[in-house]
Chain A
Amino acid sequence: MTWLAWRQFRTQAIVGAACLAVLFGALLFTWWQVRGLAVSTGYTGCTGNDCQNAADSFLDEIEQSLAGRVQLAGVGASFGLPALVGVFWGAPMVARELETGTYRIAWSQTVSRRRWLLVKLSVGGLAAVLVAGALSLALTSWAQPIDDAHATLAHANLITPLVFSTRGVVPIGYATLAFAIGVTAGLMLRKTLAATAVTLALVVATQIGAVELRPLIADPVHRVTALTAERANMVARMNDVVTRVEGWPSETDSWELSNTIVTTPGGPEYRGPTDQEKCTPDCREWLGAQGLLQEERYVPARRFWLVQWRELGVLLTLTAALSLISLWWIRRRPA
């Protein structure tokens, strides 16, 4: 059965590998450019306070170079990978057999429907793990100097939604889940086109939903501090009336979930009124004296791996659940 599953999957696997090879080629081509720029801007081997400036100019240079575009492509590929895996590998895997009637030749051999599906799920799932793992690993090692520079500048980098799901181990979870979604949709809808559309919608919904739900597993820091004049960051005015007050984040290298100025913890956002006379030209001194509180919720960068493993756990659990549903379905609901 493994031979047949692989034989049927071979073409798609080769196409996938070819696409991945193109991206790897681009990463390899710019590999030395990234390292070269780190040296030429003085970031590599910097010491002390020089590092901040060097890191800054290094990131500027990257942004304007080919490597910057390759990095964007890499991030785009990472976000697109689950949808591609679901649509091109998952959805047709069972749907096409049901649609063209070839399941009848497969199920007439000495192999149970469950084993047939289990082997198909294993072959495709393993391929999804390999592709997603390879892409994440390649991107992570390629971007090592860039990530280091962001860390030097205490930028919120790896922990932010835009980078988080392209690094570490979660891409593997997204790819396998998308594959399982595709197979399950194909099995239930029995039409490749319908399964493709449903898979695409569900995979994108999963990716959006994951960002919304990530704080639940990320154990965010909840912090209430007194708003001093130094912490007051931005004061938005309209016609000389203060409309919005913001405070500096406590940890800049964090994924900020909320950051509001309140009068009591958990209370509504502070929106004035302010003393217009004392607020001109600068309101910060006055605000600092009002006994206001800054309430923050954020996920600090140091939680990166904790959140990575937890999220991978959730995604793999969902993958396993969908696989079990498929295996149950194929036995209970034959053609």
Chain B
Amino acid sequence: MTSVLRSENLTKRYGRRTALSGCTLDVPVGQVVGLVGPNGAGKSTLLQLACGLLEPTAGMIEVLGERPASGSARVGFVAQDAPVYAGLTVAEHLRLGARLNPSWDSAIAEQRIAQAGLDPSQKAGKLSGGQRANLALTVAVAKRPELLLLDEPVAALDPLARRLFLQALMELVAEQEMTVIMSSHLVSDLQRICDHLIVLVGSQVRLAGDVDDLLASHHRLIGPRRESVDVASYGWTLIEDRHTAAQSTLVVRSTAPIDDPSWQADQLDLEDILLAYLSESAPAAAPERVLEAQR
């Protein structure tokens, strides 16, 4: 399996502020990749580095086997807030795409505009947030990129528009051979459509992996309250722990099935897993840790 995006120790600083630090990733091709993290975690920075709008301060990034440069025919990008030219009409945006991209597929563009119910003669500045997001996505998709980067594409949309947008995106991915990396600070947006997830917290990668693997390897363990659990001796990685007077609840990562009868093991859904990683107490990029139960 080849990589669509590979980075090593990728770091971006704006003056003294670090937006992304030591980011090492290997994203396989042909998937829908979710990039999750709270606001300010470095999602936009990572995506803009990937499309060449930003230059890394340190480290290496390779997209489709090349150093990213803006103006590439192989990468499509829809920036945060889906910028469009307010003074240009919908039809003029399509014309812009056709003029500026040799690989332009006008059939897809026309079809998507019709599907989204956009009036070609309307000025883009007068579109609603959802319509604007659809227009920006159309321009990015009709370019027929191998990799489509979407930065918070549904953030401005209401729940219904959000669902429609994601549905349209899924259809596109099914029709075209295209890898999609989309960021969101909302887990629920991603769990429906993503095959691969990257969790960014505080400018660092906290978790990266295929959704199926993540689901199979994370467990919620409930058992009587313990003073301390040496999770490492079981071959587990502790993600989160909570304790009440009577019982301890752990979220652990383990590739092997949990066979210790003193714990009741439950499956977690993706949202639970991500929330465990996003919570403050979670460890950075999987160090082994001995649990000290709190009194």
- Chain A residues engaging chain B, CB cutoff 8 angstroms: 1, 3-4, 7-8, 11, 100-102, 104-113, 115-116, 334-335
Contacts and interface: CB of A to CB of B under 8 A. Distances in A.
Contacts of B79: 101, 104-105, 108
Most chain A C-beta atoms within 10 Å of own C-beta, residue among B53, B55, B88, B103: B53
B74 to A, nearest CB: 9
Interface residues of B, number: 36
B120 to A, nearest CB: 15
Interface string B73-93: 101111101011111100010
Contact of B84 (A4, A102, A112, A115): A102
20 contacts: A1-B99, A1-B100, A3-B99, A7-B92, A101-B83, A105-B85, A106-B100, A108-B70, A108-B75, A108-B78, A109-B71, A109-B97, A110-B72, A111-B71, A111-B100, A112-B69, A112-B70, A113-B71, A334-B55, A335-B48
B70 A105 contact: no
Contact of B54 (A3, A109, A335): A335
A100 B103 CA distance: 27
A89 to B, nearest CB: 16
A109 B143 contact: yes
A335 B99 contact: no
Contacts of A3: 95-96, 99
Given A7-B88, A108-B51, A111-B71, A101 B100 contact: no
Nearest to B84: A105
Interface of B: 48, 51-55, 69-73, 75-79, 81, 83-88, 92, 95-97, 99-103, 136, 139-140, 143
A335 B71 contact: no
Contacts of B143: 109-110
Contacts of B54: 334-335
A105 B96 CA distance: 10
A116 B139 CA distance: 17
A193 to B, nearest CB: 18
A106 B92 CA distance: 13
A227 to B, nearest CB: 66
B85 A102 contact: yes
A107 B72 CA distance: 9
Contact of A104 (B77, B88, B95): B77
